[in-house]
């Protein structure tokens, strides 16, 4: 009996003194383990007479309970201390700069769209958007291409099998020009917007992909003429290519939604197999490259969009974003734009920290 009492006191003292979970476990095995002294003492009860057992059992049972309680309490205390210690050790200073190399990058098309928005914002243009799933009224009819117009066939349109609730054909927009119509109907005049976005045509080779990007420009006001158009495009391209020697050539053309219509060419030279924008296209070693269509908004389009052609007029243009991105950043295969190859993106992509701004330069390099 005194034996059990002193052994229990010794065990409780050892448990209280344990400084680690391992030391505590050793104490548990020592007393309550299969071969621990409490377990062995409990086993002796089996060989006792009922009277002896009644006398001996309570002391052993209470020794076991006291040791088990002490073990549990000490275990909780040690675990709490370990957690405190771990929390103190594993602090993270969130104000430190990231040490890992940045992984994501901004696609050149997104970069160029940001550059466009920045430059045109400086010229007083807002950014407008429209749906990529369009109806044939906005994509064609209101742009002066009725059902029988031959230009409709030239657009290689992706049509949806079903019509809209109001009976219109539904399609993937073939150009950003329907945003002209939506903007005029929604906000009336005057207007100064650009509308960058995806467009779709059933066409695919090294220079054509079924999805590509355009930016539409639209200015509606009073006394607007072709001179405003040429100045606006020239000012834009000078800022975009960051050089003063940009020469544009406006070549007579035809679009159903502009009258007169002009195609816009830019002078360039070839250096080391790479096209470099700049200079007069007729100068030695230079040539002209088409970069978009434009013209004065056709009076019929103004009428479709609810504007009075006697009062308002304006110009519109459409540029291929992928094309000008390739020119500016020296890529030669359009298809690589949409392959999603991380090596291509690592090479041609831009840091998300490099926001184009007019003050820091719109052509911030990756
Ligand atoms: N929407 C025309 C195209 O995709 C380009 C354009 C836009 C022409 C605006 C004139 C005015 O080819």
Q: Tell me the CATH architecture of domain 108-348.
A: 2-Layer Sandwich (3.30)
Taking 80 as the threshold, does the pLDDT of residue 364 lie above it? no
Determine the Cα–Cα distance for residues 141 and 304; give it in Å rounded to an integer: 9
**Tell me, what's the pLDDT at 366?**
41
Question: pLDDT digits over 70-122, tens only?
Answer: 999 999 999 999 899 999 888 888 887 766 665 778 999 999 999 999 999 99
Pairing of strands 191-200, 126-127: parallel
Determine the Cα–Cα distance for residues 152 and 305; give it in Å rounded to an integer: 19
> Residues 144-148: what's their mean pLDDT?
90
| CB of residue 255 inside a 6 A radius of ligand 1 | yes
| CB of residue 316 inside a 6 A radius of ligand 1 | yes
Determine the Cα–Cα distance for residues 229 and 296; give it in Å rounded to an integer: 8
Question: pLDDT digits over 38-78, tens only?
Answer: 998 888 888 888 898 888 889 899 999 999 999 999 999 99
Instruction: For 115, list phi and psi in degrees, rounded to 5.
Output: -65, -45
Question: pLDDT digits over 181-198, tens only?
Answer: 999 999 999 999 999 999
Question: How close is the Cα of 19 to the center of ligand 1, in Å?
Answer: 80
* Nearest Cα residue to atom 12 of ligand 1: 293
CB distance 136 to 173 below 8 Å: no
CA 144, 147, 149, 155 dihedral sign is positive
> Residues 190-216: what's their mean pLDDT?
92
Residue in the structure block whose two tokens are 């229990």: 8
- Report which of 199, 150, 210, 148 is spatially closest to residue 172, judged by C-alpha positions: 199
Other beta carbons less than 10 A from residue 87's beta carbon:
9
Determine the Cα–Cα distance for residues 314 and 228; give it in Å rounded to an integer: 9
Give the angle 326-327-332 at the CA atoms, nearest 5°. Answer: 45
Alpha helices (runs of H) in the chain, residue ranges in sequence order: 2-17, 21-32, 37-44, 50-89, 108-122, 136-139, 150-154, 178-187, 226-241, 299-304, 321-329, 342-348
CA 196, 197, 203, 207 dihedral sign is positive
Other beta carbons less than 10 A from residue 357's beta carbon:
12
CB distance 264 to 294 below 8 Å: yes
Question: How close is the Cα of 184 to the center of ligand 1, in Å?
Answer: 16
Domain residue extents for the chain: 2-89, 108-348
| CB of residue 200 inside a 6 A radius of ligand 1 | no
């Amino acid at each position: 009996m005194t034996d059990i009492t002193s052994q229990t006191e010794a065990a409780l003292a050892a448990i209280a003194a344990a400084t680690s979970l391992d030391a505590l476990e050793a104490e548990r095995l020592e007393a309550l383990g299969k071969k621990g002294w409490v377990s062995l003492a409990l086993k002796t009860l089996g060989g006792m007479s009922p009277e002896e057992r009644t006398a001996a059992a309570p002391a052993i049972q209470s020794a076991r309970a006291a040791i088990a309680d002490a073990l549990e309490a000490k275990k909780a205390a040690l675990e709490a201390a370990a957690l405190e210690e771990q929390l103190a050790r594993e602090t993270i200073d969130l104000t430190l700069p990231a040490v890992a190399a940045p992984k994501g990058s901004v696609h050149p098309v997104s970069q160029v769209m940001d550059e466009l928005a920045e430059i045109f914002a400086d010229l007083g243009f807002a950014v407008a958007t429209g749906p990529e799933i369009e109806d044939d009224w906005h994509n064609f009819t209101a742009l002066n291409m009725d059902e029988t117009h031959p230009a409709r066939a030239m657009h290689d349109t992706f049509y949806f099998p079903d019509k809209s609730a109001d009976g219109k054909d539904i399609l993937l927009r073939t150009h950003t020009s329907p945003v002209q119509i939506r903007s005029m109907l929604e906000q009336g005049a005057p207007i100064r917007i650009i509308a960058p976005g995806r467009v779709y045509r059933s066409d695919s080779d090294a220079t054509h992909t079924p999805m590509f990007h355009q930016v539409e420009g639209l200015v509606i006001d009073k006394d607007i003429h072709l001179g405003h158009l040429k100045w606006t495009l020239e000012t834009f391209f000078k800022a975009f290519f960051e050089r003063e020697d940009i020469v544009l050539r406006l070549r007579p053309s035809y679009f159903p939604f502009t009258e007169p219509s002009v195609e816009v060419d830019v002078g360039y030279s070839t250096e080391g197999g790479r096209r470099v924008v700049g200079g007069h296209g007729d100068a030695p070693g230079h040539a002209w490259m088409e970069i978009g269509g434009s013209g004065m908004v056709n009076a019929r389009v103004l009428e479709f969009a609810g504007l009075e052609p006697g009062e308002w007029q304006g110009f519109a243009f459409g540029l291929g974003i992928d094309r000008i991105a390739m020119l500016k950043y020296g890529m030669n295969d359009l298809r690589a734009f949409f392959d999603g190859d991380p090596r291509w993106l690592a090479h041609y992509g831009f840091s998300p920290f490099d926001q184009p701004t007019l003050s820091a330069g719109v052509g911030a390099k990756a």
